[in-house]
Amino acid sequence: MLAARRTIVPALVALVVLALAAGAPPADAAVVKVSMTARHRTVPLMPGLRFAAWTFNRSIPGPVVRAREGDTIEITLRNADRMHRHSLDFHASQVDPLRAMADVPPGKTRTFSFVARRPGVFLYHCGTSSVLQHVGQGMYGAIIVEPAGGRPPAQEIVLVQSELYGRVRGRVLRSTLKDMLAMRPRYTAFNGSPFRYLRRPLQVRAGEPVRIYLVDAGPSMGSAFHVVGEIFDAVQPDGNPVSPREGVSTWSVPAGAGAVFELTFDEPGTYTFLTHELGLAMKGAVGRIVAR
Ligand SMILES: [Cu+2]
């Protein structure tokens, strides 16, 4: 998915929830209001297959949240699920988890906030026990916190890698905690759909900078991220622009982490991106970028 700036972007429909705070230091710090609804929903997974998922805002992954360093993120979580408690753990936060990440019972709504003090790209996920099951069912997404001074212009791509577990019955993939504990994923995916970007490659302009924000949601496996035919000009672990690594071919992002990858396709062509843990790539975490 292509990223919009300083806003919340569901996979298909942009839903802008940004409000400026009056007079809060730093001078241009904002309150970014994020509305999330937890609900069970059967979502399209790939042609001919659906997934009996637990979602934030009806999609896997949930919406991309964007803010800037120093902003206050104010989250309202509504639990529209009739059976399970749900919650939100933002890895961009530095808060008391028992307060900020408390479970929301079925049918209830709660609001909490945190100040995004560190720039980067981070995972958010449901933190309710069993976390393995809630993440494995699809309750995760990416939050991007821009550095206070911004980033240089680039063509931006946001990728969330994950595993999908379970058995297919009647063209629906259904997961159990037992499937997830066995750690034998049925599929892997970027942005919630195995082989999504082989079916519809991403498009960029050759000769101009590209920035990939990658988050690995797991629940249990990381990403050895690589672009065939390219070397990353810079990799920023967790997306923090301080101390980038330069000239990297493959970079491991563990489950629960993120990274920013910067590169320029000097030569027009079709470039495959994947996790170079190839047994996982062949289950769906592989795609293409066409540079023109
Ligand atoms: Cu949950």
Using one digit for the tens of pLDDT, what is the confidence trace for 217-257? Answer: 999 999 999 999 999 999 999 999 998 999 999 999 999 99
**What pLDDT is recorded for position 97?**
85
Cβ count near 200 (within 10 Å): 11
Residues with CB under 5 A from ligand 1 (ion): 86, 126, 128, 134, 139
8 A C-beta contact, residue 216 and residue 123? yes
* Ordered alpha helix ranges (H), 114-213: 131-136, 177-182, 196-199
Place of tokens 């809630």: 134
Of 21 and 261, the structure prediction assigns the larger pLDDT to 261
In the reported structure, the alpha carbon of residue 156 is separated from the centroid of ligand 1 by a whole-number distance in angstroms of 29
The reply to whether omega before 119 is within 30° of 0 (cis) is: no
Q: What percent of the chain has pLDDT over 70?
A: 91
Check whether 91 has a pLDDT greater than 90: yes
Model confidence, pTM: 0.90
- 85: CA distance to ligand 1 center in Å? 6
Amino acid letter for position 257: A
CA quadruple 117, 118, 121, 125: dihedral sign: negative
Instruction: Determine the distance separating the centroid of ligand 1 and the alpha carbon of 40, expressed in angstroms.
Output: 10
Ligand 1 centroid – CA 48 distance (Å): 26
Res. 117 pLDDT band, cuts 50 70 90 = very high
CA of 87 to the centre of ligand 1 (A): 6
Residue 17: the pLDDT is 26
Strands of 101-154 (E only): list them.
Answer: 109-115, 120-125, 140-146
Which of 161, 164, 217, 212 shows the shortest CA–CA distance to 190? 161
Least confident range from 74-78, 96-100, 139-143, 169-173: namely 96-100
- 56 C-alpha to ligand 1 centroid (Å): 9
Question: What is the per-residue pLDDT for 26?
Answer: 52
Give the model's confidence band at 98: pLDDT under 50 very low, under 70 low, under 90 confident, else very high: confident
In whole angstroms, how far apart are CA 279 and each of 31, 188, 209, 251, 283?
Answer: 42, 10, 30, 17, 7
> For 156-291, which CATH superfamily applies?
Cupredoxins -  blue copper proteins (2.60.40.420)
Tell me: cis bond preceding 61? Omega within 30 of 0 counts.
yes
Domain with CATH 2.60.40.420 in the chain: 8-151, 156-291
User: From CA 116, how far away is CA 95, in angstroms rounded?
Assistant: 10
Cis ω on the peptide bond leading into residue 252 (within 30° of 0)? no
Find the 78 Cα to ligand 1 centroid distance in Å. Answer: 11
Mean pLDDT of the chain: 91
Residue 196 has pLDDT above 80, yes or no: yes
Average pLDDT over residues 196-217: 98
Chain centre distance of CA 102: 21
pLDDT digits (tens, 9 = 90+) for 7-37: 444 433 332 222 222 233 355 779 999 999 9
CATH classification code of 8-151: 2.60.40.420
pLDDT for residue 47 is more than 90 = yes
Higher-confidence position of 26 and 209? 209
Q: Are 81 and 87 in contact (CB under 8 A)?
A: no
Find the 235 Cα to ligand 1 centroid distance in Å: 31
Distance 252 CA to ligand 1 centre (A): 27
Mean pLDDT calculated for residue range 117-121: 97
- The one-letter code for the residue type at 188 is T
